[in-house]
Amino acid sequence: MIVTMANDDIHQGGCLCGAVRYRAVVGESKTVTHCHCSMCRKASGATFATWAEFPADNFEFTQGQPKIFRSSDIAQRAFCGSCGCQLTFQAVGDPGGVSKRIWVAVGSTDRPAAIEPTHHIFTDAQLPRLRMDDSLPGSPRQLPWIRTDDDLPRRTQRGEDAIRQPALTAAGHGNHEGGCLCGSVRYRAVIGDTKTVAHCHCGMCRKASGGTLVSWIEVATKDFAFTRGQPDHFKSSHIAERTFCGTCGCQFTFQFIVNPAEDSEILWVTLGSTNRPDDFEFADHIFTDDQLPWLHFDDQLKRWPDQFPGLRSDEGLARRGRRS
Ligand SMILES: [Zn+2]
Ligand SMILES: [Zn+2]
Ligand SMILES: [Zn+2]
């Protein structure tokens, strides 16, 4: 069938490393949800997920194949096995469900600015300190006409169990633990009062996580350790390396790698992968030059157009590289 369609209705996207690419054509329904559920945080490491609805028949992978993580009895998530980027969410094996739809991670699309969100969902789980400022309608759980795995916690214990990870260390000031949605990889970190938590709006963080916002917590490397499993590593540029779960894709850390002596002292941990994300105060927005036009905040945080002054920036380098 030949259908005349505007180019604007065709979306292409893929992950940061470029191994997996897809194409999707907008259908009748254009629901785009900011999802604040804990499963999406733990799957991506992003601070929340933003999902765009497409008819499943209008979506195809055009390069490479993603890894599939069955996040519950009724849903699966596709992500890049080489860099971890979340790509899609889809209901499976649920006769009452919505397998005719596929939800695409907006952060993985090539033109995220063109995909306007329509709703906030799972606002019951929204981080209280995340001061988003828009007039979109919100739902405490999933939208009433859509069923998902996080909406059926009693039917599908697996993902929820992964989130309720028991503490390895005494809970207390400064002691933090985290890990991914599937539970394969966990870490421990001691994070003091001098922590810096920055919302990063850069395009590389979007394409690494599939999310539209990744918040990073600065940690001294000596105070951080993986305590179960080992993450996969992805060198996202010649100056930085990211780690992620090879089984579910969750992003864990970012670290500069240019000058081993100096760079090895500090790393950055994703807020979305921590077990108690509510504990952290945000301090800054970075790479606001890349902030999506529909993402608004009502906060007094410092805003930096690029990386923090004095820090290297692979996104800055990438941008300069693209220009040259
Ligand atoms: Zn990739
Ligand atoms: Zn995992
Ligand atoms: Zn970033």
CA of 307 to the centre of ligand 3 (A): 8
CA of 61 to the centre of ligand 1 (A): 13
C-beta separation of 53 from 115 below 8 A: no
Q: In the structure encoding, which two tokens stand for residue 198, read together?
A: 């920055």
Phi, psi of 227 (to 5 degrees): -110, -15
CA of 146 to the centre of ligand 3 (A): 31
CA distance 52 to 291: 18
CA of 186 to the centre of ligand 1 (A): 22
C-beta separation of 62 from 21 below 8 A: yes
CA distance 176 to 83: 25
The pLDDT, as a whole number, for residue 173 is 62
CA of 152 to the centre of ligand 1 (A): 30
The pLDDT, as a whole number, for residue 282 is 92
* Spans of the chain below 50 pLDDT: 1-2, 151-162, 164-171, 317-324
Q: In the structure encoding, which two tokens stand for residue 304, read together?
A: 């930096």
CA of 110 to the centre of ligand 1 (A): 14
pTM of the model: 0.88
CA distance 20 to 18: 6
The pLDDT, as a whole number, for residue 165 is 47
The pLDDT, as a whole number, for residue 259 is 84
Nearest Cα neighbor of 38 from 159, 168, 200, 136 is 159
C-beta separation of 181 from 44 below 8 A: no
C-beta separation of 228 from 180 below 8 A: no
The pLDDT, as a whole number, for residue 29 is 84
CA of 200 to the centre of ligand 3 (A): 5
The pLDDT, as a whole number, for residue 293 is 96
The pLDDT, as a whole number, for residue 157 is 39
Looking at the CA of 81, name the nearest ligand: 1
CA distance 176 to 187: 8
CA of 273 to the centre of ligand 2 (A): 10
Domains of the chain: 10-151 (2.170.150.70), 173-323 (2.170.150.70)
CA distance 3 to 314: 41
Looking at the CA of 13, name the nearest ligand: 1
CA of 121 to the centre of ligand 2 (A): 23
CA of 80 to the centre of ligand 1 (A): 5
The pLDDT, as a whole number, for residue 32 is 97
What is the 8-class DSSP label of residue 126?
Answer: S
CA of 87 to the centre of ligand 1 (A): 10
CA of 308 to the centre of ligand 3 (A): 11
C-beta separation of 22 from 12 below 8 A: yes
CA of 18 to the centre of ligand 1 (A): 5
The pLDDT, as a whole number, for residue 307 is 86
